[in-house]
Structure 1
């Protein structure tokens, strides 16, 4: 019998979970990297996602306070961002690179997008540019946010919205119902407001005419080889609590490798994470229980911050 070797990143981890439930006997190896927790109802989904981006924002603030590679180092960065957000809400925040107005949600989207790699150097440059009005060498914010991904081939391929509504039962039917859910997000993320990715995914299911073919449920997986899960402790999209919940549901069917750093999905993040993944895929060698990989901050020096590509724009639940 032919068997698959599977690597699923972010939303692809949910596909991997589904495959393991349906066809456990067809799996040779399976890595789920950046793990979805498909047992959550819509409220807990939005609430946890808000907490993840708030945590990533705090990680950025701490880095910026310590690193001279941050363009707003030495400033009260939290106050700078709060002022930018107020200007965006008032309709007076201008992108100096192209003169267009930046609204609240575009600012939040562009900020949260830069948590994923993470692109903290680039985020500091963006905040400095918006705050000073000096365009510098920056690209227009609309081209370097997740909102711009829909206009790129990579973004269209990676866009999860067409199938999100078939995987998640969303009970909101009115603006008031969504507003109450949004207020829950504000409690979890007073500075980031909400996860733009999660909120946009939920709202686009309003009026969904089709069936929810794969509604939320706890995982039931048996008779698979050990599934290797990978997750960072400061993941802005698929947070560590999701990985822990999914691991608890899988029980002995999975092993969790923890990356002790920031950013979304980790297989290619460091030599440690890639070596663990490679050994598993090639030899089915499972990391020891509780195995971790240290954080690697080489991308936060500016040397590896080489600009935004269409593939980067596709990162969300890619």
Structure 2
């Protein structure tokens, strides 16, 4: 999807409620190597690779590589263990989280007590990656098709994207990138590194990974934090509706912040919401130039030479994820408002233009392959999509229903690999359990990608004996990377197993 690449994204993406049988927790076998060989790969960072089965049902079959990056604990005498981290996406690289977020992670108390470890998920760059021909991934398509012809044009592009992956040589990984397989990889990493109890913090889609790991291996856990909750019991409209509403609510929070704060570059714009809507209409009628995308020295190169209104809306979803300076490389909402001003009033949408791919690996390719193995196939027709577009325009007038799920619903319709991990409730697996240390669930009240409804539903599925839910009374996607009360509560939980009471509301 189009990403606002000036921002450091720790996140991203996201059947009707199912009461499927619980996943079996037995029948896992892994023979670890005698020793994991760590090498220095950056300042304060060590790297290693681990071989795991491509297909966990055939543990002696073909092997793939899981790349790992680690920041060793600063205080070895007080070391608690490994803390595994996952940035979500799906398809984002844990190695990039460790390297790009190194200074932030080393500034936290976690650095004193844990070897902070990022195992790169299968299918992502660094580990054995999904590979696809970039040509169809660089093709545009009608984002909100209004006719049968436009609908078929969109489907053809998405069909060609899937086929471009099937047709790559030595790309068996494409068929085995579901989140259950990744959860088993985490267990292999845990065993290979000494069989210590699992400590884990997952962000956004990484919360689904953490929940499914807990479902499979409940007895191997010390502490689990899920920050920015994905609800894997939802799919189709049941996923799209809350996500698009969460995006709309967060954009309204941005407009309100902008009206009250002179640090917003658009502070003096009268009736900014209406001006924004007109800008999106204008960009859909005549795409906004993106001159930096043609400049090889630009940090956004290569990207499309202009951006439509709908493309800007999808990139803007990522932008409003990060209100605070420490989470955005251009200063959170302050910096983002400057980029939006540049697009609205200086005719330069470079920051919002979609990426172009020059190689056969990339975030979008992994993102699609993983999500489409975790989600059922929608059966939208052109009429359905037209109705969906009309509903989005009424229910969420600024964001128009556009977002990650809008894109993924269409992309996965004809994805060529089978669904391996369909949506279902966690409740059957956790019924009757009473975990010694409850999972800590964390969600912002105004989240544009994982709305609070997701967190409430996952908490109900797990039960309060197994998970406590706390809420940050603020905007943005995920909470740990904003240093405030929520950040400190997560630290206390991971270090001291001090579990906050469910319903705690943190004002930061």
What band does the TM-score fall into relative to the shorter chain? 0.7 to 0.9
The answer for the alignment partner of 2:439 in structure 1 is: 227
What is the SS of the residue equivalent to 1:204? helix
Aligned mates of 2:293, 2:235 — CA distance in 1: 41
1:275, distance to aligned residue in structure 2 (A): 1.7
Query: 2:420 aligns to what?
Result: 213
Q: Which residue in 2 is equivalent to 1:140? A: 350
Give 2:449's aligned residue.
237
Residue from 247, 251, 266 that aligns with 1:53: 247
For the Cα contact (< 8 Å) 2:378–2:412, is it kept in 1? no
Question: Hey, what does 1:290 align to over in structure 2?
Answer: 503
Q: Please say if residues 228 and 444 of structure 2, whose CA atoms lie closer than 8 Å, have aligned partners that are also in contact.
A: yes
Q: Assess if the C-alpha contact under 8 Å between 1:173 and 1:207 holds in 2.
A: no
State how far apart, in whole Å, the 2-side matches of 1:280 and 1:134 are: 47
Task: Indicate whether 1:90 and 2:300 are aligned.
Answer: no
Q: TM-score, normalised by structure 2?
A: 0.53
* Residue of structure 1 aligned with 2:459, choices 247, 256, 259: 247
Q: Which residue of 2 aligns with 1:191?
A: 398
Offset of residue 172 of structure 1: 2.0
Deviation (angstroms), 1:219: 1.1
- Partner residue in 2 for 1:258: 471
Aligned to 1:36, what secondary structure does the other structure show? coil
d(CA) in 2 for partners of 1:294, 1:155? 37
Following TM superposition, by how much is the alpha carbon of 1:117 offset from its aligned partner in structure 2, in angstroms? 0.7
CA contact (8 A) 1:266 1:273 kept: yes
Unaligned 5+ runs, structure 1: 296-318
Distance 1:134 1:157 in 2: 27
Q: Retained in 2: the 8 A contact 1:24–1:223?
A: no
Distance 1:51 1:269 in 2: 23
- In the alignment, which residue of structure 1 is the partner of 2:115? none
**C-alpha offsets along residues 95-138 of structure 1, whole Å, 9 cap, x if unaligned?**
46669432122221232221111232233222322232266xxx
Q: Following superposition of structure 1 onto structure 2, how do residues 52-201 of structure 1 map, counting pairs within 5 Å?
A: 52-75=246-269, 76-95=271-290, 100-118=305-323, 119-133=332-346, 140-142=350-352, 147-148=354-355, 156=363, 159-201=366-408
Offset from partner CA, 1:242-301 (integer Å, 9 cap, x none):
111111111121111211101110012123222211111122110123222212xxxxxx
d(CA) in 2 for partners of 1:22, 1:128: 48
Aligned mates of 1:164, 1:34 — CA distance in 2: 17
Unaligned stretches of 5+ residues in structure 2 = 1-194, 295-304, 324-331
- Size of the alignment, in residue pairs? 289
